[in-house]
Structure 1
Amino acid sequence: MSRRRRRLEDPRAAIEAKRRRPGLPAEPPRPDGSPAAVEAALGAVAALFPRRLFGDALPPLLLRHQLYSLVPDRTAVDRHLERLRAEGRLRLLHLGLGPDALGVVSARLYREKALAAVAGSPREPLVRRFLEVAVMARPELSYGERDMRDMGFGDSDVTQLVAVGLLTVRDVGSWWVAVPGVGRFVRALLRGRRALLSLFRRARLRQLPQGALGGGKTPPGAALGVPFLLHDLLGEGRLQSIPTPAGPLLRLAEP
C-alpha cells in the first residue's frame, strides 16, 4: 500500500505527524476541497502549534477557520471535519471565541493530555470514565444535565470535571466539552491577534508585504508565532491576501 493511500485511510496522521515547519501562508494552497487537501491543511497548521510554549501540556490545537486560509472551499472543509468527528478521529471544541470559532484537535492526543493532567490523582478514574463514555463516544460540543445523568454522571462528578477543565459552563444545566488548560491558549491567541493587527493599523495604507513578516524578530505578544496567527487572521477574514508580482500583500480588511 502506498504512503499516499495510508495517509488518506488514517487522517489522524495528518494532524499528528511531525513535519518540517512550513512557512507563511504564501505557500500555494490546494483549493480543490478534496479530503487530501483538507488533511494536508490540518497537518500544516497543526505543525505550527507551539507545544513548548505550553510545556507540552496541551495537544496541538487549531481553529477551524485557519483551514479556510489554505482550502477556500469552506463547505468542503466543514464536511470533511464533520466526517472525521463522526468517526471519532477528531474532536471539535467550543473555545469561547464566538459561535463559529471552533477548535480542532486529534481525539487521541486530546485523550492522552487529559489523562496526563490527572495522572495519579483521585480524579483519574472519573476522568478516564468520562473520556470513554462521553468524549470518545459522543461527539457533541456540549452536554446537558440530562445527558450527564444518562451517561452516569451526577452533580459531584460534573463539579469535578469542571474543576479539572474537561467541562466549562455553557448555561444553567449545560456544559461545553473543553481541554484542560485551554485558557492559556485562548489568552495567547487574543494577545497575538492584537499584536499583529496593531502592526497593520500602524502601517502605511494598513498593508504589509507578507514576506516582511516571515523573518526577523517575532512581534511582542505574538508568542504563538506569526505563521500560526496569520492563518487565523486570514481564515477569519480580518486580513486579505492580494497577489502581486513581488508576492502576497496582506491588507487589513475594512471594518
Structure 2
Amino acid sequence: MSKRISIVLPDFYGQRKKLKGNHSISSGNCLGKNELFECLPTDTEAGLIYLKNRVFPLTKFEGLLPPILLVNQVYTIISNKTAVDKELNLLQSKGVIRVFKLVGAETVLVVIFFKDLTEHVIKHCPEKPVINRFLKILPQVQDVIVEKRFLREELGFLEQEISDLVGCGMLTLRSAASYWLSFPNSGEFLRIYFKGRKSVLGTIKKSKFSEILQPELEDRNLDKSVKLGIKYHIHDFIGAELVKWARQIDVSPPTESSSPSNVSSGAESRGMLAPRVEVRGCS
C-alpha cells in the first residue's frame, strides 16, 4: 500500500473571480463585454483548461478519445482539495464539465468538458434519438451512477433504449439495478492509463535512490508504453500523493558580471532549477 507523504505544490494560478450564473469561458456563453468579468474561470476551471491544452496529448488520441483529465491532476495546481471538489460539483451542475468514476484495476475519477464529451459521443455512437436525448438530460444526473429504476420511471427510457446506451458506452453495468455513467472507449483509456502509470512508476523506482530529476524523466524514451505522456502521469502521481515533488535550486554564488535575475534565469535555462520526483513506498 502506498504511503502518503507531504508535497511541495507549484502555485501556477493566482486568485480568480468565482463563477456567476451560467457563464464560463469553456461553455461559450461569454457573449457581451459586460459579461467578460463574469466569464473569468474559477481556479479549478482554469486548472482544467491548462491540463487540457498543455498536458493531455490530444494529437495522439484525436478521433479515439476526448481530452480526459484526472481529478488528482487538478490537486497539483490547486492545493485546497475541498475547494477543488466544490468547484467541480458547481461546474458539473452548470453543464460545463462531466465527472466520471472509471472502475478498472483501481478506481479513477476523470473530468471531461461537456462540449468535448458531446462531440465525442456524437462521433462514436449511432445516430439514434436516444443518444441526443440522453446527452440533454445528463446534467440532471449529478452522481457518477444512475439507477435503472430512475432511467425508466423518472426519465422515461425504454428497455431497448437503455440497451442502446450500454452498447454505445454511455452506461456500464454496476449491478443488477444500477449503471456507471461512462463514455465511448473509456475501457481503452483505462488500459492506456494503467500501462503508462506502471511504466513511469517503475522507471522512477529503478533510478538511484528511487528519485530522478523531472526533466531527466521526461527525456526518457517511453513513448510506446506511455502514450499519455510522462507529464500527464507526473501530475497524477503528485496529486494522488504517490510521489514527492521537490524543487532543486542552484546555490552556486553569482559572478561579478551577473545580476541576481540573470543568475536565476540562466540556472533555469541550464536545467539547474529543476523539480525532483521521488518515490516513497509506492506499490
TM-score by length of 2: 0.73
Q: 2:274 aligns with which of 244, 247, 251?
A: 247
One-letter identity of the residue aligned with 2:47: A
Supply the distance in 2 between the matched residues of 1:71 and 1:253 (Cα, whole angstroms): 22
For 1:12, which of 5, 11, 26 is the aligned residue? Answer: 26
Q: CA deviation at 1:55?
A: 3.5
1:29 — aligned with what? none
2:87 maps to which of 80, 91, 114: 80
Contact 1:92 1:141 in 2 (8 A): yes
* One-letter identity of the residue aligned with 1:185: F
Which residue identity is paired with 2:50? A
2:200 to 181, 186, 196: 196
Q: Assess, with a 3 A threshold, how the Cα gap between structure 1 residues 219 and 128 changes in structure 2: closer, same or farther.
A: closer
- Report the residue type matching 2:215 in the other structure: G
Q: State the 1:196 CA deviation.
A: 0.4
Which consecutive segments of 4 or more residues in structure 1 shift more than 6 A? none
Between the aligned partners of 1:36 and 1:55, the Cα distance in structure 2 is 27
Q: Report sequence identity in percent.
A: 26
CA distance in 1, matches of 2:240, 2:222: 21
What is aligned with 1:130? Answer: 134
Residue equivalent to 2:160: 156
> What is aligned with 1:71?
78
CA 69–177 in structure 1, closer or farther in 2 if over 3 Å, else same: same
Residue of structure 1 equivalent to 2:264: none
- Give, in whole Å, the separation in 2 of the partners of 1:192 and 1:110: 23
The answer to whether the 8 A contact 1:91-1:106 is kept is yes
After TM superposition, give the deviation of residue 94 of structure 1 in Å.
0.9
Q: Does 1:43 align with 2:49?
A: yes
Q: Which amino acid is the alignment partner of residue 137 of structure 1? A: Q
Unmatched runs of 5 consecutive residues or more in structure 1? 15-34
Structure 1 equivalent of residue 268 of structure 2: none
Task: Note the 1:76-225 alignment, pairs <5 A.
Answer: 76-97=83-104, 101-118=108-125, 121=126, 124-133=128-137, 135-149=138-152, 150-215=154-219, 217-225=221-229
Contact 1:207 1:252 in 2 (8 A): yes
1:55-66 superposed matches below 5 A:
55-66=62-73
TM-fit CA distance, 1:97: 4.8
Residue 218 of structure 1 aligns to a residue in which SS?
A: coil
2:49 partner amino acid: G
Listed one character per residue, the Cα deviations across residues 138-164 of structure 1 (whole Å, up to 9, x for unaligned) are 322111021111211122221111111
